[in-house]
Amino acid sequence: MKNGFRQSMAWLHTWTGLVVGWILFFVFATGNLGRFDTEIDRWMKPELRPETASLAQSVEAAQQRLQSRAANAESWTIWPATNRDYPNLRVRWEQPVTQASAEHSGRTQNQNRKRTEEYLDPETAKPVETRATGGGQLLYKMHYELHYLPRTVSDWLIGICSMFMLVAIISGIITHKKIFADFFTFRPGKGQRSWLDLHAALATIVLPFFLMMTYSGLVFLVLTLFPGNVAANYGLGDDTRTTYNDELNATPYEAERADQAAPLVNLSSLTAIAEQKWGAGQVRTIEVENPGDSNARVRVTHLLDDTSRTNQELVFDGANGALMGEFSNQSNARGFYDHLLGLHRGLFAGWVLRWLYFLSGIAGAIIIASGLVLWVVKRNPKQLKQADGPDFGHRLVEALNVGTIAGLPIAVAAYFLANRLLPLDLAGRGNWEANSFFIVWLLALLYPIVRPVGRAWIEQFWVAAAAFLLLPIVNALTTGRHLLHSLQVHDWIFAGFDLTVIVAGLLFAWIAIHLSRRAQQVPAPARRRNASHLPSAQEV
């Protein structure tokens, strides 16, 4: 560490950023794709078609299906097709697993329910078979679950990385002397200077977003990172967390099963009442507790259009249809938490803001990537002079940079390609999609071992470009829904997906071309293994 406050902060910024940079890049890239999780879901389940059925028709179809398939379930949930988040009619029922095994495994009932979900065709009330896929949800969940790790491990890992990130952001602000003078400054084509400009200027203009995402990300994990909060009030026993959660999520008008059969009222009559109250198109979910019992409860929920994602509920008696009451889950104690999480998830965002969220996320990924590249560029002059080549650590960082920054996009494309190309009857198909993602990423990480770093950058960006440009073609061949067709029938999900991957592919190709040109300009003696062919900032 060096003397002086700012130098110390610069040191802190450099090293906190470096050690977790690659994981943070992964988190930012996959989390950012989650801005379009529902759209990606729709693309990855091409069997689902856009719906036009009325609310009443959807609810009736759902009730009919659930009555015949899950009359004895503990609870039902119905999501009619209403808005961006719920594009298709979907139902879920929960059944307790057999008594013996529930007692055997002990305490929490929550963990001993079997959930089944189906998409339904509102016209026929029959389930729609979709291919086994993790869809956009899995891709989005990767950014905090890290896919292969148990939640306890991934929560801590992500928590620690986010904390490092917060430290890096704050020390970065302190380090950035000319934050106002350089607010609008980017000087391309000047090597290290350009990388620093890119890193600093982008970080400055998306700072509110960047800080908010990191901080609210940490707040998500607050119970993991500060377990003492719950322990102090609920004790240290095994089921205190369950008690805590039950109390936190307690809802009024809950009722035990009376074990007296009583037919359930017509749900569509209840949603009609709710629509009268809230206006057309405002009903989001219909939840039924104890269906078929005389103590059945029906909750019709409505979502407030703000950052907190507050639910309003109408609770009905399921046996006679009487309105029992209305309540909202809003509370001041949860307000802060809910608003921060709401901002992080951005589910409230309309199309314009959603795209801006997405662009900010890309900027975030570029900030991290340029920081990592800057670490190498800054040390290159000294490292390349060494007689026996750069140090191991230097080469390791270079290789991880290539494998992550250029490799991760290839992995994402591989995930999408696997969705279209894996046989539909493959066992564990959904898992294999995710495995494809990580296998390809691993290959991309190993690739710089066998190739000079400069070549590896160029080649991997070419592969990324090819993979993304291949996607619309593979999609057209496997589903028949090509771009022109999607545009003609105004299928904005498919058209938007195709157009976005085409733009991404062209961008990667442009980077590759730019890097090749630069590599040719480098004078011959410098073009040895591990020489720096790192791009100047203007390609990114």
Partner 1 sequence: MLVSFVFAYFGFAALSLTKARHYQQVWPQRSATPQTLYLLKTVGWFFIVIATVYLIQLRGLGLGLTDLFAVFSLAALVLILQFSYAPRSVAAIGLVARLRGQSAPVSTSTSHL
Q: What does the binding site for partner 1 look like in residue numbers (CB under 8 A)?
A: 181, 183-188, 201-202, 204-206, 208-209, 306-307, 339, 343, 348, 352-353, 356-357, 359-360, 363, 538
Q: Which is nearer to partner 1, 211 or 439 (CB)?
A: 211
At closest approach, how far in Å is the CB of 186 from partner 1? 5
At closest approach, how far in Å is the CB of 310 from partner 1? 12
At closest approach, how far in Å is the CB of 199 from partner 1? 13
Return d(Cα 206, Cα 217) in angstroms, integer: 16
**Strand ranges, E, within 319-428:** 323-328
At closest approach, how far in Å is the CB of 66 from partner 1? 36
Q: Which is nearer to partner 1, 154 or 360 (CB)?
A: 360
Does residue 113 contact residue 96 with C-beta atoms inside 8 Å?
yes
Kindly report the CA angle at 355 between 354 and 359, in degrees rounded to 5?
Answer: 120
Q: Which is nearer to partner 1, 113 or 354 (CB)?
A: 354
Return d(Cα 249, Cα 252) in angstroms, integer: 10
Q: Which helix (H) or strand (E) holds 155?
A: helix 151-175
Return d(Cα 123, Cα 60) in angstroms, integer: 10
Tokens of 19: 């050690």
Return d(Cα 146, Cα 142) in angstroms, integer: 5
Calculate the CA 239 to chain-centre distance.
30
Return d(Cα 118, Cα 280) in angstroms, integer: 25
> 303 - beta bridge partners?
311
Q: Which is nearer to partner 1, 201 or 471 (CB)?
A: 201
Could you give the count of Cα atoms lying within 13 Å of 261 in the half-sphere of its Cβ? Answer: 2
3-state secondary structure of 528: coil
At closest approach, how far in Å is the CB of 487 from partner 1? 24
Handedness of CA 58, 60, 64, 70 (dihedral sign): positive
Q: Which is nearer to partner 1, 196 or 444 (CB)?
A: 196
Q: Which is nearer to partner 1, 113 or 187 (CB)?
A: 187
Does residue 139 contact residue 205 with C-beta atoms inside 8 Å?
no
Q: Which is nearer to partner 1, 348 or 492 (CB)?
A: 348
At closest approach, how far in Å is the CB of 504 from partner 1? 18
Q: Which is nearer to partner 1, 92 or 199 (CB)?
A: 199
Q: Which is nearer to partner 1, 117 or 306 (CB)?
A: 306
At closest approach, how far in Å is the CB of 276 from partner 1? 26
What torsion, rounded to 10 degrees, do the Cα atoms 95, 99, 100, 105 define?
70
At closest approach, how far in Å is the CB of 375 from partner 1? 23
Those residues whose C-beta lies under 8 Å from the C-beta of residue 291, and which sit 6 or more positions away, are 66, 67, 70, 71, 73, 75, 76, 264, 318
Return d(Cα 196, Cα 187) in angstroms, integer: 9
At closest approach, how far in Å is the CB of 389 from partner 1? 35
